[in-house]
Amino acid sequence: MMRLRISIGLLALIPIMFGAISAEQAIVQSSTVQKSADSSLVLAQGPVAQPQTQEDDRPTFFDGIRGIIGDSPAFDDNDATESLVESLNRAEKAYKEIRRSNREAIRGMNRQVRVGTARQSPHIVVITVPQLRFDQLTSMNRLSGIRNSGMTFTNYYAPADNLTSSRWSYLTGNLAAKSPAEGRLNRKESLAESLWQAGYETTLIGTWASNQHPVELGYDHWTGFPSSSGVVARYPEFFFTQTTRAKIMSDSDSKQATSHQLITDEVTSFLKRHQRSSRQFYLHVGIPFLQGVKSKENIQEVDKAIGQIVDSLNTLGLAGRVCLIVTGETSHQIAADVDKNLPVVDEKLAYSKSGTNEGNLRTPLIVFWAGKAKRGSISDFPCTGVDLLPTLMNVAAARKTPQGIDGISLISEIQGGEQDIERLLYWKMKDGGQVARRGRWKVILKGGEKQLELYDLKNDPSESTNVAKKHPDIVDSFIVDSKPQQPVDSQTL
């Protein structure tokens, strides 16, 4: 079996609205950049599942009493039976609420008290987009403005080719190849829970890709839409707040709010409530694509939504107290109307139907952190979505950080240092194909094939020349053994 060896391991100035904010602390509102041709995305439609809170499915005391009521001839009086069942249901509801309160009290006993350095750590805002390519930055002035005021990671990769697995990796700091069926999460390994334990208030506004409920995974609050594909209706009928599904009503002019308006209004409301809060917050904003909207318009709508969030941060005087991260949860999966090469800074990235090339995997990671991330800086350090969890734990000055994860902290890079490490990045594709990168070298084993392809990304970022025969020793360094190929499973990582 042939296996890949896996190592676990804002420039323009803007008017300053409050004297307390310096130009260095404000996120730029727009930016003029060189334009290039825009391409279209294929927006995969997936099933929408309403997130469910986790409940123990074992029979309870109340189930037993219901059984007795149903089976015993002593309860033949229907009116008396219905009254008894109603009382039993009320008692069970009260019991569950008491259990929930007790669990939360016990959970909070070990929560970090934020003193010293931790008390000075910033608020954290993470904005994610379902799919984002580097070439699209040229048509996103607001996002490019953040890029010019912070750091852009040009060798950042989406951890998976689908939203559910990618979100799982981001929330756990582990390779997507290790994700269980349906990307189910354990609360203890969730980024939201880890930041909550570090003393942060945790909130999710926007799309949620799992059928597990966010409030069961460490989020204090959730408002948004369930969507496994990151695509929602432009004018949604319902909006979820915690476990309540609310029907969206038109305003007095019979105008209905768009999904993006609902999200940005909710973000602005959240930021206003926390403008002078003594407790730091972690806010994840999942901005969706709009169903039935062309790619170029979708990107413009996403950029507009990002701009509105930036405006709120600036207006409320929060820009100097926030670490803002914007990234794509996936990059690009092949579409017939996409240019053969996708430009990234001064490079051209190739794509393929197998989804294994740089154009399929790389997505922008942009970090704005006043006084920490140098304005207009670029990092070419190879990294991926698994690195966000340990990075954010460092940003939060968390006392306890999850151990044994695949990701590493990027805080040194963000603050202008260099990572003295060469590690292996790994992807497993849906068709059994595998991709790995270590330093300048990248190997591809396409699904159903036996021969590894090797590319020198330093000299050949477009992956135009397979140099496997020229460097057999490097190819061998990626191979565990030479038995007939079969997909790598999580136990081999």
Four-residue CA torsion sign, 130, 132, 138, 143: positive
How far is 458 from 350, CA to CA, in rounded Å? 14
Does 99 map to a domain?
yes
Residue 407 is classified by DSSP as: -
Q: Which of 379, 394, 421 marks a domain boundary?
A: 421
Quick one: pLDDT at residue 44?
Answer: 28
* 101 shares its domain with 233: no
* 334 shares its domain with 202: yes
Quick one: pLDDT at residue 16?
Answer: 27
What string of pLDDT tens digits covers the 493 residues of the chain?
444 444 333 222 222 232 344 445 666 544 433 333 332 222 222 333 445 545 445 567 777 777 776 666 665 666 667 778 788 788 877 877 776 666 566 555 556 565 566 678 999 999 999 889 888 888 899 998 899 999 999 999 999 888 888 888 999 999 988 887 666 777 778 899 999 999 999 999 998 876 787 888 888 999 988 877 778 888 888 887 877 777 877 654 557 788 999 999 999 999 999 998 888 999 999 999 888 888 888 899 999 999 999 999 999 999 999 999 999 988 865 443 444 444 444 457 877 777 888 888 999 999 999 999 999 999 999 999 999 999 999 999 998 888 899 999 999 999 998 887 889 999 988 888 899 999 999 999 998 888 999 999 999 999 999 999 999 999 999 987 544 434 444 333 3
How far is 493 from 480, CA to CA, in rounded Å? 11
* 370 shares its domain with 488: no
Going from the C-alpha of 94 to that of each of 60, 90, 99, 239, 280, the distances in angstroms are 14, 6, 9, 27, 32
* 129 shares its domain with 249: yes
Does 17 map to a domain?
yes
Does 5 map to a domain?
no
- Ramachandran area for residue 136 (φ above 0: left; ψ -120 to 50: alpha; else beta): alpha
Does 429 map to a domain?
no
The pTM of this model reads 0.76
Does 389 map to a domain?
yes
123: its two tokens: 């608020």
Does 427 map to a domain?
no
Quick one: pLDDT at residue 401?
Answer: 85
Quick one: pLDDT at residue 257?
Answer: 82
* DSSP strand pairing (201-208 vs 221-226): parallel
* 76 shares its domain with 134: no
Q: Which of 396, 421, 446 marks a domain boundary?
A: 421
Residue range of the domain that includes 93? 61-108
* 41 shares its domain with 91: no
* 207 shares its domain with 294: yes
The total domain count for the chain is 3
Q: Which residues, in sequence order, are CB contacts of 336 under 8 Å at separation 6+?
A: none
* 170 shares its domain with 303: yes
Quick one: pLDDT at residue 346?
Answer: 43
Does 2 map to a domain?
no
CA atoms within 13 A on the CB side of 329: 29
Terminal CA-CA length for the chain: 14
* 159 shares its domain with 304: yes
Instruction: Give the CATH number, domain containing residue 454.
Output: 3.30.1120.10
Instruction: Give the CATH number, domain containing residue 273.
Output: 3.40.720.10
Quick one: pLDDT at residue 19?
Answer: 35
Q: Which of 380, 400, 421 marks a domain boundary?
A: 421
CA atoms within 13 A on the CB side of 85: 14
* 103 shares its domain with 180: no
What backbone phi and psi angles, to 5 degrees, belong to 285? -110, 115
* 256 shares its domain with 189: yes
Quick one: pLDDT at residue 213?
Answer: 79
Does 55 map to a domain?
no
What single letter denotes the amino acid at residue 361?
L
* 318 shares its domain with 236: yes
Quick one: pLDDT at residue 154?
Answer: 93
